[in-house]
A and B are shown apart, each in its own frame.
Chain A
Amino acid sequence: MYLQKKLQKLLKPLVQPFFAVLIGIITGAVAIAIVGEPILDTYIVMWNGAFGNFYFLTSTLARATPILLVGLGVALAFRAGVFNLGGEGQMVLGAVSAALAALYFPGPPAVKLVAALIAGMLAGGLWALLAGWMESRFKVQLLISTLLMNYVAILFASYLVAEPFQDRSGSAALAQTPMIEQGAWLPKLFTGMSVHMGFVIAVFCALLLVIILRFTTSGYEVKMLGLNPFFAEYGGVNKVKVLLLSMFFSGALAGLAGTVEVLGTQYRYVDGFLTAPGFAWTGLMAALLANSNPLGTAVAAILLAALQTGAMGMERNTEVPLEVASVIQAVLILFVSAKFTINWWKLRKKEGDVSGTV
């Protein structure tokens, strides 16, 4: 009886994402059928492309790493009741700062590595903090400011690597920084496989976030601020402080996502290498799909990464185009955002009522 209740409680939040995924797969099946390929076989190829052997599995985990970290950042902001749509910009600024720190910070390679990690998190965090500060000081809606600040950050990073810090050693003038020396790289977890230390860092962050949100005073205040800001204020929670801290760490996690990509995969900042695969938006989706639960975000990040790596395998081996994965993702987005819009609307309405009476 007790066990059953506990199980129910554990499973209940999973029902909705499960259905979203199921309907996504069914829609994908329709798309595959329209292309004229066998549905089951195509999905098997896709599965193999994501988890088929050790190489593919580690590739999926490598791809999941930045998605997971950005997702955690978004989840943290959501818990505090705000939208951080600026994951992309924070990630890019984090990545470029990490690359520059690893290149130019004086000291032995290990020191460079630590400096790069700190610089990446600081850059992402401060960029998000700026948006948070504008919200608390001038009431600039975070939803809008974070989104727009993405463009500023991305274009600024492009400028940095196209002009002052461009790598001019090679013959082709690509928009990228020089390569970081090997001692400052994040080690690979298995030789020859693409998954690197960053994945371990990401999982550690997810666990840390669970502990903070569930067991600490700060986590409690963040959660209450997100559930009912009026209640939090009434109870003496310093709204501004909690909001700013949440935004800072949210941005820092996004910055860390960019940092580990630089230090573990590319070993330099390459213009567009974080924005083209859409890591930040996939991370946002992972957080939404998991309803901002950190561990759920981890699972969702791996799942979404698998969808992408699996689709690449599918494209290699069948006539089905890569875009089927986009179809499935789009259906997921539709489901998640429908639910989210409703909740968001309710909260808005509530706030409206308050300003009506006060």
Chain B
Amino acid sequence: MANLLEMKGMSKKYGEFLANDGVSISVGKGEVLAIVGENGAGKTTLMKMLYGLEQPSSGQILLNGKPVTFSGPLDAIANGIGMVHQHFMLFHDFSVAENIVIGHEPKKFGFFKRNDAVRSVNQIAEQFRINVSPTKKAGDCSVGEQQRIEILKVLYQGADIIILDEPTAVLTPFEVDELLKTIRFLADQGKSIILITHKLREVMKVADRVTVLRNGKVTGSVSKTETTSDQLAQMMVGRKLQKLNERDNLDGDTLLKIKGITMASKGEKPLLDKVSLTVRHGEILGVAGVSGNGQSELIQAISGLSLVNEGRILLKGNDLTDQPVEARRAAGLSHIPEDRYLWGAAKDATVEETGLMGSQRKPEYNNRSFIQKRAFRSTVKEWINRFEIKASSLEEKSGNLSGGNLQKLIVARELAFKTPFLIAAEPTRGVDIGAMEYIHDALIEKRNSGDGILLVSSELSEILALSDRIIVLYEGKIVGELERKDANEERLSVLMAGGIENVPTKKTSETS
């Protein structure tokens, strides 16, 4: 198979920092190339150079064997290269068809021919079997639909090489499967796909070949049939990853007990609808669900950031229902928040100040209302060493830390409270595999020491890897509960979509 596109010895320097160091990739017609690597490995830089957003310091791009240079995205598009960005760029008040033809509108005497636009969108959608409704407003479309609009836009512009940047990060499991099917179909139609991702499961499902980047260098370029996801992970991280093994049930006593909490909303449907659950000592209870089905509200209700309209929240038998956050933390709750920039830190506060939150009134760091900075600094330094947090100093602003490092700081802070109960909400969202491993290990270790954890995650793999028991939230209700041994991705996916499971095993509840 002749290579349609080749990038040879691409390097990009930002000041002293070498973001790409002699990276070479190639992709043939009708081929799916996956580029994988941890955050900061240089995937995005490479694609920016291909798309004309960045100029390479050295290296060559060959298209059909001929060297080309792109001064901007328009150049790249004109040469048949299209990119679907991670964050969609749609006009929400325009119709789907208008969004797709934008920039290349069918016109007659300078007037936009809307019907022609709809017709050509229908045609192209049919050709590539991508389902959209052209007259709908883009803002009314689901995330998956919006992504399909973006893909159609690129196809409409006549792209033969399509770059997809982390396309599955925002999708539900069903939508992911649909997308993977679409990718496969496009490749069969002769389009070349470059898939940027760090999710190895998807790579193994859809890619023909895989190129792995680490620290700006290619650490492996293999055909999918010759590799395994374990091998790929090893190439990404540079060392062997541990397996999270099966474990024994600890059968601890009841730790957290939630009885029928309801949180009303302005609309008709309550945000939380009579949710009851129990977390025992030595147990990780996973909460699965498509985001926006009540997970945020559940977390806020338990941690005290929002009050519930009915129901009771008991921790170790203490009724916390009407208690403020501080009292709940004192009663033995710590909390890794779902959004680290909104809840978990203040961007303009220093690393030290972000780490201090929650400990500012602890006697070991407080002497007659003066903060004992020296004692606290050594504690933070310990965290930095233990979790290998990369921060230039304790005075650095937390907003300047990378997402993964800030997350590790937050995890370290919350674990340091050594509370019997922990809420871990999206504990590894947007962090690289190395940091993820640290965080997962730390959670398992806490569980094994007899503490209870409520794990809320939109990553099914994370839920499945860590949880002892899994509940599924759908529209504010618990629609299913599975033991670790019974849980698998398929069953969870059905429940997450609101479908009632028709597998004749034991059904929900057993929560009281």
Contact = CB atoms under 8 A, between A and B. Distances in A.
Interface of A: 9, 215-218, 220-221, 223-224, 227-228, 230-238, 350, 354, 357-358
B371 A220 contact: yes
A228 B346 contact: yes
Interface string B362-394: 000010011101000000000000000000000
B296 A231 contact: no
B24 to A, nearest CB: 39
B325 A234 contact: yes
Given A224-B353, A357-B296, A231 B345 contact: yes
A358 B361 contact: no
Interface string B342-355: 11111111000110
Contacts of A224: 346, 349, 353, 357
B369 A216 contact: yes
Contacts of A231: 342-346, 349, 354, 357
26 contacts: A215-B373, A216-B369, A216-B371, A217-B360, A220-B371, A227-B347, A227-B348, A228-B342, A231-B342, A231-B344, A231-B346, A231-B354, A232-B346, A233-B325, A234-B303, A234-B305, A234-B325, A234-B335, A234-B344, A235-B357, A236-B324, A236-B325, A236-B330, A350-B342, A358-B297, A358-B300
Contacts of B345: 228, 231
B364 to A, nearest CB: 13
A237 B327 CA distance: 10
Interface string B306-349: 10000000000000000011101110000101000011111111
B415 to A, nearest CB: 15
B349 A223 contact: yes
Contacts of B356: 220
Interface string B281-312: 00000000000000011001001011000000
A236 B329 contact: yes
Interface in B85-144: none
Contacts of A227: 346-349
B181 to A, nearest CB: 30
B347 to A, nearest CB: 7
B358 A236 contact: yes
A215 B376 CA distance: 12
Contacts of B370: 215-217
Nearest to B333: A236
A250 to B, nearest CB: 19
B360 A221 contact: yes
Dominant secondary structure of chain A at its interface with chain B: helix
Most buried by B among A224, A232, A235, A354: A235
B366 A217 contact: yes
B371 A230 contact: no
A230 B342 CA distance: 6
B1 to A, nearest CB: 46
Given A231-B342, A234-B357, 5 more contacts: A227-B346, A231-B344, A235-B325, A236-B326, A237-B326
B357 A215 contact: no
A217 B371 contact: yes
B326 to A, nearest CB: 4
Contacts of A237: 326
**Smallest CB-CB A-B distances: 5 pairs:** A236-B326, A235-B357, A228-B346, A227-B346, A234-B343
B392 to A, nearest CB: 10
A230 B349 contact: no
Contacts of B303: 234
Contacts of B329: 236
A129 to B, nearest CB: 21
B296 A238 contact: no
B358 A220 contact: no
Nearest to B343: A234
A237 B349 CA distance: 15
Given A220-B371, A228-B349, A231-B343, A358 B296 contact: yes
A233 B305 contact: yes
B94 to A, nearest CB: 21
A228 B337 CA distance: 14
Most buried by A among B296, B356, B360: B360
A225 B325 CA distance: 15
B369 A223 contact: no
Contact of A215 (B324, B335, B371): B371
A227 B346 CA distance: 6
A236 B324 CA distance: 8
Most buried by B among A9, A216, A236: A236
Contacts of B366: 217
A204 B269 CA distance: 57
A235 B340 CA distance: 12
B349 A217 contact: no
A344 to B, nearest CB: 14
Contacts of A358: 296-297, 300, 306
Contacts of B349: 223-224, 227-228, 231
A215 B349 CA distance: 14
A232 B357 CA distance: 8
A82 to B, nearest CB: 16
A238 B357 CA distance: 12
B400 to A, nearest CB: 14
A223 B330 CA distance: 22
Contact of B369 (A9, A217, A233, A236): A217
Contacts of A223: 349, 353
Contacts of B358: 235-236
Nearest to B393: A5
Contacts of A217: 360-361, 366, 369-371
Nearest to B271: A358
